[in-house]
Amino acid sequence: MWPALSRGEQGQSRGGLCTAPDLEHGVDRGPVADVLAVVYSVGLFAAFTTSCWPLPSVRRWSAFQRIQSMCLLFLVVSYAPHLSWERAWLLLHDSIQNSRDAAWAYSWWAYIDGGDMRYATAPPTLPTMEVLSVTNGVLGSVGFYRWVRSRGTDPVAVLLFMATAVVHLYSTSLYFGGEILAGLPNVDTTSFLDTWMKFGLANAPWIVFPWFALYWGGRLLSGMGLRSA
């Protein structure tokens, strides 16, 4: 177990995307990470809900078509960080913890600084959840491959999508619940952005959108009659 870093140390480190202002020009790491958090958090919700906007290109879509577009985008975008950011953290978390000033580790430290220090201290439940997330990414990718290959007619692909949605709900609920019930010891609660953007809104899609995926998948399976692949 790595030693926990105090909140006072969280904003003092220097060290990708957006590393140039921080490392080369002396810009405080905290504000750079805050900007990234706002762009990422707001951008995710904006992207996932685009099909529900009153745009000319989707004006003729049914409510179900809009939900399907939302769900597919959410699921595919979810699998990407599972297999990249989270997988790399699992393999390199000891190096990441010891590389606060390194540009290569900035994508993790931008979140660790104020957002959730558990990614620096790695309590046993967090690697366990991340293993589950990476497994989810692998299974979801298989589902997406089957979906594309079958042109959206493979019930196994839909079942895999729904299974990963359930895991999203479980792991994210555990992630939020474990920290909140402990009193948010790993989040800088003095900062609105750290609490509500980095920790809250950045992770909220994996609580909100899985419900839509389960509804969408159930409707699809009903229409398919659960026929064999």
Domain contains 216: yes
| Token code pair at residue 8 | 């006072």
Other beta carbons within 10 angstroms of residue 82's beta carbon come to 23
**Burial zone of 68 (CB within 10 Å; 0-12 exposed, 13-18 middle, 19+ buried):** buried
Asked if the structure places residue 6 within a domain, the reply is no
pLDDT, tens only, 129-176: 999 999 999 999 999 999 999 999 999 999 999 999 999 999 999 999
Q: Can you give the residue range of the structural domain that contains 91?
A: 15-224
Task: Please report the pLDDT score of residue 183 as a whole number.
Answer: 94
Cα separation of 179 and 199, whole Å?
10
pLDDT confidence bin for 28, thresholds 50/70/90: low
Does residue 139 lie within any of the structural domains? yes
* Residue 115 domain-assigned (yes or no): yes
Compare 28 and 76 and report the one with higher pLDDT: 76
Q: Which of 50, 70, 41 is nearest to 194 (CA)?
A: 41
pLDDT for 22 equals 47
Q: Say whether pLDDT at 68 is over 60.
A: yes
Residue 7 lies in a domain: no
Domain-located, residue 157: yes
Q: How confident is the prediction for the chain on average, in pLDDT?
A: 85
Tell me, yes or no, whether 229 lies in a domain. no
Give the DSSP H/E element, type plus range, for residue 196. Answer: none
pLDDT at 4 over 70: no
pLDDT band at 14 (very low <50, low <70, confident <90, very high): very low
For residue range 29-66, what is the model confidence (pLDDT) as tens digits? 667 778 888 888 899 999 999 999 999 999 999 999 99
Domains in the chain: how many in total? 1
